[in-house]
Structure 1
């Protein structure tokens, strides 16, 4: 029973980690909590849904196109909604992020109607039995895709010119600008990468649960934010760790017969982390001159 719930929790935590990575990347560079991020996850699920059901694409091409579409959407959101407010106070930008979130939710609801849609099964799935443990090919697929995307992100951040620019801007944007780094382009690249990862998570959730709807991004978006805070918001490995911790915890709570309390447990963990270690598990205290 424990091993079974651990497997379920790792699959769920991998999805939280993908969404949390977008939160933590954006916060690490411009100190913005992008509350529209969970709705980009929803848009990605719907893009893949229409590509598979209307254009009869297979799962992986639909996944890649959905990631590209949401990367473009992320850049547009940053350029239209956030860039003009970059020098304003954080509360103004936060309210704008909430407004963008509502726009995406109810805009999608207007065009596709609020009814849940059955996500099409694009390939045959199997269950593997190992003793008393059941491992679904869905779990394996989610884990492999999530792991591959995290490894690619790690390579991009640590080994590419764009990744080095992102790290420089997150450390000191003014100094990075003086060194010839295009800060605006770097911020747009950050939104593009984070939105693509959120889109991948949305497609995986649609495949896993077999159902999507225009409001599906609200709770996963909040929980991914919790995961980012648990790991240390602004720290990329911390987002992955926080997502896995949250997913495994929820799986054990549900497995114990308290599925109605799993959301409450997630927010309780957030409160405990903020009281005990506000910087998160992998965060460090930083002195700031006043």
Structure 2
């Protein structure tokens, strides 16, 4: 009976896994891009995700206020929210690179200094957000809290059958994430900036000799990763009803696990790792007698297994080869 229920819920769970995995993938891309050009893990990236979410929350709240959104106002507000998340994420990532990384890079600091600097920046940003936005219930997107008026309610189902439900929210998150991943893949493979990023990832000293501005390329890489994390932050906030200052930690760690799963430094690997991890979490938690409390365990078991049996990840490591 339980087995039959699990199979009946499989289509819906696959969709939920795709929604969750696509958010992990967007955040994982930031880890992978920075690792590709610097061979460092940006441990403040989870706070870039959180800052993008808060930026979009402030902008969307300012636009909506107490108004009821109808017609074209809803998609327009969504687009503004996505752009606000991207801009805030990109801005804070750019600032982080300038303050926490570039100064150390110029002085030739050891790798450990970068790690400590990133952790310090991460703690600073999460504590600052905690001071500025104290009460969790005050940070809800309008209409996403159960029982409130539908100012921003995206949970309405487009398709609703016995075995399959597709909400507007799930559709938007999946489509936006897939579009962002496709655009990034094209950017890295087909543009001048993409070639510069790949060249720096492959061999920075040689890239510099060929006239590539290393500092500018690294800065732009941070900006791209930050924008993707900010978009993910906005969509995470909408999916979960609101934003909170500790929201970056768990998705950040899971996105890091996804990046390692696919192959840290590999763009398509980060996309694949995120999607696989999201699917695995949802499908395992739906198994009878298991439950959602095992979701976090799935991520870390997957991470340990990959590190033990395939340390370079599913698709290998290097950004230059990945693209």
Fold conserved (TM > 0.5)? yes
Between 1:272-281 and 1:155-164, the stretch displaced more is 155-164
Unaligned segments of structure 2, at least 5 residues:
1-8, 65-75, 144-150, 319-323
Structure 1 counterpart of 2:120, from 95, 99, 115: 99
Render the CA deviation track for 1:152-197: whole Å, top value 9, x for unaligned. 1111111111111000000000000011100000000000000000
- Match in the other structure for 2:34: 26
Match of 2:264 in 1: 233
- What is the aligned counterpart of 2:78 among 59, 69, 72? 59
Q: Deviations over 1:97-153 (max 9, x none)?
A: 111110110011111215342122454532112442111111111111001111111
CA contact (8 A) 2:18 2:174 kept: yes
Q: Deviations over 1:197-241 (max 9, x none)?
A: 000001001111112100000010000000000000000000000
CA distance in 1: counterparts of 2:47 and 2:98, whole angstroms: 17
8 Å contact from structure 2 (residues 142, 152) kept in 1: no
Q: How does 1:175-254 map to 2 (within 5 A)?
A: 175-254=206-285
Contact 2:60 2:80 in 1 (8 A): no
Report SS of the residue matched to 2:40: coil
Contact 1:114 1:214 in 2 (8 A): no
User: Equivalents in 2 of 1:23, 1:245: separation in Å?
Assistant: 17
Report the Cα distance in structure 1 between the residues aligned to 2:169 and 2:30, rounded to whole angstroms. 23
Q: Where does structure 1 differ by over 6 angstroms across 4 or more consecutive aligned residues?
A: none
> Post-superposition shift, 1:244?
0.6
Aligned residue for 2:212, secondary structure, equals coil
Q: Which moved more, 1:232-241 or 1:77-86?
A: 77-86
What's the TM-score, normalizing by structure 2?
Answer: 0.85
Count of residues in correspondence between the two structures: 285
Q: How does 1:45-124 map to 2 (within 5 A)?
A: 45-56=53-64, 58-86=77-105, 87-116=108-137, 117-121=139-143, 123-124=152-153
The answer to whether residue 11 in structure 2 is matched with residue 3 in structure 1 is yes
3-state SS, counterpart of residue 63 of structure 2 = coil
Secondary structure in structure 1 of the residue aligned to 2:268? helix
Q: Output the CA distance in 1 between the equivalents of 2:317 and 2:117.
A: 29
| Preserved CA contact (<8 Å) 1:49 1:120 | no
SS at match of 1:168: helix
**How far apart are the structure 2 equivalents of 1:65 and 1:214?**
17
Indicate how the Cα distance of structure 1 residues 51 and 222 shifts in structure 2: closer, same or farther if over 3 A, else same.
same
Q: Radius of gyration: which is bigger?
A: 2
Shift of 1:66: 2.3
Cα pair 2:52 2:84 within 8 Å, conserved: no
